[in-house]
Amino acid sequence: MLESQQCRKGPFILVEMRPYVGPHLEDHPPLDPNIPDDGLLEVARELMSERLQRQVKALDLLSSSAQTEIGFLHNEDIVWSILEGEAVLLDLETGLFFSLNQVGTLIWERCDGKHTFTEICAALCEAFDVAEEIVHDDLTKLIIYLKQERLIITSSHE
C-alpha cells in the first residue's frame, strides 16, 4: 500500500467539474473592447483579488481548530441526480452543469448537513483505503472548489 501511495501522480480526488467557470457575469459585466491596458490590468487585479479572498477564507475555515464541527449543505439552487454512479449537478441560478466522479459523488452525498468534514474524511479513508493525510488535503481542495462555485455552503454541525 505504501508503494501505491508514493507512486500516485495526481490528486486522490479526481473530480471533473465541467465547465470551468470563471467570475460570475452578473458580478462583472463584459469589458469594453477599447479598454486601455492599464484598465484591463486593474480589472484583472480586482477579479484575482476576489478569487484569492474566497480561497483564503475557505482555507482559514478548513484549517481552524473547530474543523471537526464543520458541515456542508448543498446550495438550494442546485438540483442533482446520480447517473451511472456519478453525480450530475445543475445550478438553476446560472444554468451551468457540473459532474462529479465516484469519489466526488461520495463527498457530495455527505454534504447534507449531517456529516462533518472529519466524518467525510474518515468515510473516504475507509471506502478507498487511502492515507488520511492524502484524503484530508484533497478533500480540502475539493471543498474549497465547491464553495467557490457556490455549489455548497458551510453549516454548523449539531
78-83 and 86-91 beta bridge pairing: antiparallel
Instruction: Check: CB of residue 101 under 8 Å from CB of residue 91.
Output: no
For residue 59, which of 143, 128, 117 has the smallest C-alpha distance? 143
d(CA 131, CA 124): 10
Confidence category of residue 94, pLDDT binned at 50, 70, 90: confident
Per-residue pLDDT at 33: 76
Q: What mean pLDDT do residues 9-26 have? A: 49
Which is higher by pLDDT, 3 or 27?
27
pTM: 0.61
Strand partners, 67: none
Per-residue pLDDT at 20: 45
pLDDT, tens only, 40-65: 777 777 776 666 666 656 655 555 54
Residue 137 buriedness (CB in 10 A; 0-12 / 13-18 / 19+): middle
Most confident of 16-30, 31-45, 114-128: 114-128
Instruction: Check: CB of residue 59 under 8 Å from CB of residue 136.
Output: no
Least confident of 61-75, 99-113, 126-140, 143-157: 61-75
| CATH of the domain spanning 36-156, picked from 3.90.930.60, 3.40.50.1100, 3.40.50.850, 3.40.50.300 | 3.90.930.60
Per-residue pLDDT at 86: 92
Question: CA-CA-CA-CA torsion for 113, 135, 140, 86, nearest 10 degrees?
Answer: -60
- Is the model's pLDDT at 85 over the cut of 80? yes
Provide the 10 A C-beta neighbour count for residue 87.
20
